[in-house]
A and B are shown apart, each in its own frame.
Chain A
Amino acid sequence: MAFVAAAAGWLLRLRAAGAEGHWRRFHGVGLARGFLHPSATVEDAAQRRQVAHFTFQPDPEPREYGQTQKMNLFQSITSALDNSLAKDPTAVIFGEDVAFGGVFRCTVGLRDKYGKDRVFNTPLCEQGIVGFGIGIAVTGATAIAEIQFADYIFPAFDQIVNEAAKYRYRSGDLFNCGSLTIRSPWGCVGHGALYHSQSPEAFFAHCPGIKVVIPRSPFQAKGLLLSCIEDKNPCIFFEPKILYRAAAEQVPIEPYNIPLSQAEVIQEGSDVTLVAWGTQVHVIREVASMAKEKLGVSCEVIDLRTIIPWDVDTVCKNADPFSLGLYPTGKMKEETNNLY
């Protein structure tokens, strides 16, 4: 109900904005405003459950990248890291507890396969981890740093924003730390509370010089992570931790790339554009089908994938500037009516 309400809210705002075209249809629908408001949401326990509900929707098996295997999100990450370390002899993985496989099992088996000089633990010092990673990257090696939870990224915020993001610019392209990728589990999981649930992409979304990427599924994750690692700019890759086990689909075994700064139109539509990333994409897909079923609204669903620099063209292609809905994931919800 909350999702229908969210989508429906858009319709009401669009009417108010006086947008032309398709909207005229809805003037005559005659739905009472109250119909669309979830009046009992706060009290009803079932409503409360729904606010945290989503169903992972796997994508169809990809055919163009060779043999595939069923993998969940953490296995697809391991596969991507495995491919990277195999291809690039300078690649190293480091972070807290990565040696035994990581607290989410993303690095299982890599230390045995590639050696303890390529997969190693760091002490408990996020600022040190990222600063150290920048240093490795500046010398030309590929640094893949792990921050154990996105909630702990803040001691490293200065290093990311002031050092990593500006290195190429301030040295006039003499130096850069483009081969740095920071991976971090991200987003709410139900029992994480204050410090194991945060979605901090917005803090980084206004910092030129870095790229922030959030996948929605195992297939997307592997391709996007490989692109981040190979990208010549420092990247932050947030992995929705609730999907580590919950999301499983067919993922190619061989390496492949999904381009950065390209949003994906998951479902075409003609009335409303819904934009989301990470876990919320699956919520929005349900919203879209509910809107179709209950309101006859045709929604376009876009997975933004790269938060900065984001794909303005795809998002704006079918939507005029007054009719855009942005649905950031996790705890924060923002709406904007204007694009710059």
Chain B
Amino acid sequence: TREVEVAVSRDCATALQPGRVLVASRNFANDATFEIKKCDLHRLEEGPPVTTVLTREDGLKYYRMMQTVRRMELKADQLYKQKIIRGFCHLCDGQEACCVGLEAGINPTDHLITAYRAHGFTFTRGLSVREILAELTGRKGGCAKGKGGSMHMYAKNFYGGNGIVGAQVPLGAGIALACKYNGKDEVCLTLYGDGAANQGQIFEAYNMAALWKLPCIFICENNRYGMGTSVERAAASTDYYKRGDFIPGLRVDGMDILCVREATKFAAAYCRSGKGPILMELQTYRYHGHSMSDPGVSYRTREEIQEVRSKSDPIMLLKDRMVNSNLASVEELKEIDVEVRKEIEDAAQFATADPEPPLEELGYHIYSSDPPFEVRGANQWIKFKSVS
């Protein structure tokens, strides 16, 4: 009996060690098939498939990316409240499935442009958390050298980050024209929100894209509120996927990353085949208010926010799916959480400690000019050089 006890206690000791030992000894499935919600269609005979295969590798990647975006946004919240981040800060926690899912459905050579709720997209398009947080704190290690801030972050094939509502949509149509012209089979994802969907220039962009069959995927991130105004109070038609009228559209569950991925693949294939633009409405939700100056509870109830968090949280949905289909274990995902937390902490440390851009750079890049252009400051003796 004593030998058995020793054996049992040794097994327990093994089980109590950190995840790595357990992982090595477990057998995970390589992939699993999931059913996803059918998309509502407008002017389309067929939509994206209703089942999809998720590999373990992809699942872990999406989980890590979504968790990074979530933690990064929460860290930005914390830094803002400590007044280390100033100005305006629009957070996208709750909408992680949109940015990660869209990225999963396109190639890095495709193009993306969005409005001001852009931190998640900046990350998924390839920038590091360090660069993003340093940009938020306005330091020279930031991706826009500390001069852009929250709403103006850019990366390769990611055109920002735009403050004026709706202004980015005609830009996106223009980028799509360039894609078509260059003939490299690239598409442009042009995002806007439910509030922006009522701007006139969006309809101008729809017309141009459809007329010239541009490979533009218009994407309305419908998080139900345009700042503090609910969609019913702002739009005569809240079927945003139909608002393109002559442009085919699909309405997608934006809280389910697999749904978003499949819809994006479908839409990208549609555009790449030369059929012209397509419109996607992602039904999603943001937990924070419009920006850090908005508590977010004067126009919606805490119960509503809580309900979405408990029933439709995108990270929770992916985690449940993976664990239940034996694609990953709870401990493994917890390990990822710990790693992500550390990465964010390090990035926040850097963002807080990095120096601000030097004052001489205030006037840089106003014009592109050789020799540098001289710019006047607040009075005629303060001069800055616009070096470019």
Contacts and interface: CB of A to CB of B under 8 A. Distances in A.
Contacts of B163: 194-195
B201 A155 contact: yes
Interface string B172-203: 00000000000000000000000110111100
Contacts of B376: 333
Contacts of B233: 121
B379 A2 contact: yes
B149 interface: yes
Given A193-B88, A196-B88, A333-B376, A123 B234 contact: yes
A5 interface: yes
A196 B293 CA distance: 14
A124 B200 contact: no
Contact of B196 (A43, A96, A124, A127): A124
B273 to A, nearest CB: 34
Given A152-B164, A195-B163, A5 B87 contact: no
Interface stretch (A34-42, A134-142, A216-224, A305-313): A34-42
A96 B376 CA distance: 35
A125 interface: yes
Interface residues of A, number: 30
Contact of B166 (A2, A9, A124, A333): A124
Nearest to A2: B379
Interface string B5-23: 0000000000000000000
B380 interface: yes
Contacts of B201: 155
Interface stretch (B52-60, B221-229, B239-247, B345-353): B221-229
A37 B382 CA distance: 10
A125 B200 contact: yes
A96 B234 CA distance: 10
Contacts of B382: 2, 38, 41-42, 51
Instruction: Determine the main DSSP class of B at the interface with A.
Output: loop
A97 B294 CA distance: 13
B227 A6 contact: no
Interface string A98-130: 001000000000000000000001011101100
Given A121-B229, A196-B88, A41 B381 contact: yes
Q: Which of under 10, 10 to 19, 20 to 34, or 35 or more describes the interface residues of B? A: 20 to 34
B86 A128 contact: no
Contacts of A192: 87
Contact of A5 (B86, B227, B235, B381): B381
Contact of A97 (B87, B88, B165, B228): B228
Nearest to B194: A124
B200 A128 contact: yes
A193 B234 contact: no
28 contacts: A2-B378, A6-B380, A9-B381, A38-B381, A41-B382, A42-B359, A42-B377, A51-B377, A51-B382, A96-B227, A121-B234, A123-B226, A123-B229, A124-B195, A125-B199, A151-B164, A152-B165, A155-B199, A155-B201, A191-B88, A192-B87, A193-B88, A193-B149, A194-B152, A194-B163, A196-B88, A333-B379, A333-B380
Interface of A: 2, 5-6, 9, 37-38, 41-43, 48, 51, 96-97, 100, 121, 123-125, 127-128, 151-152, 155, 191-196, 333
In the complex, the 6 A-B pairs of residues with the closest C-beta atoms, listed nearest first: A123-B198, A195-B163, A51-B378, A123-B234, A124-B195, A191-B87
Given A42-B377, A97-B227, A333-B380, 18 more contacts: A2-B378, A5-B381, A9-B379, A9-B380, A41-B381, A42-B382, A123-B235, A124-B226, A124-B234, A125-B198, A155-B199, A155-B200, A155-B201, A191-B86, A191-B87, A195-B163, A195-B164, A333-B379
Interface of B: 86-88, 149, 151-152, 163-166, 195-196, 198-201, 226-229, 233-235, 298, 359-360, 376-382
